[in-house]
Amino acid sequence: MLFRPRPEKLELILLRYLKPRMEFSYDQALNYTNLVKGYEGELKSDIWLKGLTGEWLVLHDLLFEYHGSKFQIDTLIITFEKIYLLDVKYFEGDYSIKDDKWYNPAGTLQKNPLHQLERCETLLTKLLLKLGHHYEIESYLIFNNPEFHLNTTSINPAFIFPTQLNRFLKKLNMKPVKLHKKHYQLAKQLVDHNQEESPYSRLPQYSFEKLKKGIICSNNCNTFYSDEQLICKKCGCKEEVDAAVLRSVEEFSLLFPDRKITTEGIHDWCGIIKSKKTIRRILRKYLTLHRHSRSSYYSFKE
């Protein structure tokens, strides 16, 4: 049973909005690419885990804090007698381990994911005890990119390589046992303790004035519509004006959470919609109007 589905990370959504509107530095572009690949790997892992049979409680993308130390978990699987902690790595290319140090295909030293996994397991064990639960935890690094290879002289049992994924799933499915009420209580406790961390401090610096204005094609081709017909010159996608403006309003509200949604602001943000009356009509139709003597603004309907 999928107890907590995986939400798309707000940081990734915001970077996707920013990418066509500003120029990323090399490091910013690399960070964005890594986030996209990481999320792609997590989604593939989620699809793979749909092959679980019997009673399981699966929780994705959790952020906890224990005594000032934060730790993130890709996937937790609660079974009758133990908890499986899975850390998904969508690495690509030939990696190597030398003297307990990890090197990427370019030969650059990087963080040892096994050390991160061990830290996560230790903190999770302490958090579970604090919540009144004592479970055995089995932790695994899941490498699910078929283009990944690890050069090492010894194989750690915590490593699950792409060619082992199906066998690992079969192993899990050999021991399904009916869960009790306490297992569901634990899952709810963990979801309740999940933290939401703001990504805004990690984003590139940007401002309303400096970002490129316009409506971006809904087909994720990072192309701006060139006129009010809203037909993408790159992929041929055509969009209705109401849908396009509403997408832009959502984008505006996430990028600028402290700014009011106004007719003037959305008209400037959309760029190619010439008539303010069109913007005002759409905002009044789909959002809630808040009238004030000096200025009016809109908010999304609850």
Question: In 3-state terms, what secondary structure has residue 209?
Answer: coil
pLDDT of residue 175: 72
Mean pLDDT of 37-50: 94
Sign of CA dihedral 134, 126, 192, 15: negative
pLDDT of residue 176: 66
- Rounded to the nearest 10 degrees, how much is the dihedral formed by the CA atoms of 71, 74, 80, 81? -50
pLDDT-based confidence at residue 301 (cuts at 50, 70, 90):
confident
Q: Please state the φ and ψ torsions of residue 116, each to the nearest 5 degrees.
A: -65, -40
- Could you give the CA distance from residue 69 to residue 80 in angstroms, rounded to a whole number? 28
Domains defined for the chain, CATH in brackets: 2-193 (no CATH), 207-300 (1.10.10)
> Per residue in 137-184, pLDDT tens?
999 999 999 999 999 888 899 999 999 999 999 988 887 678 889 999
Percent of the chain clearing pLDDT 70 (strictly above): 99
> Per residue in 206-223, pLDDT tens?
999 999 999 999 888 889
Sign of CA dihedral 285, 241, 8, 67: negative
As to burial, measured by CB atoms within 10 angstroms (0-12 exposed, 13-18 middle, 19+ buried), residue 167 is exposed
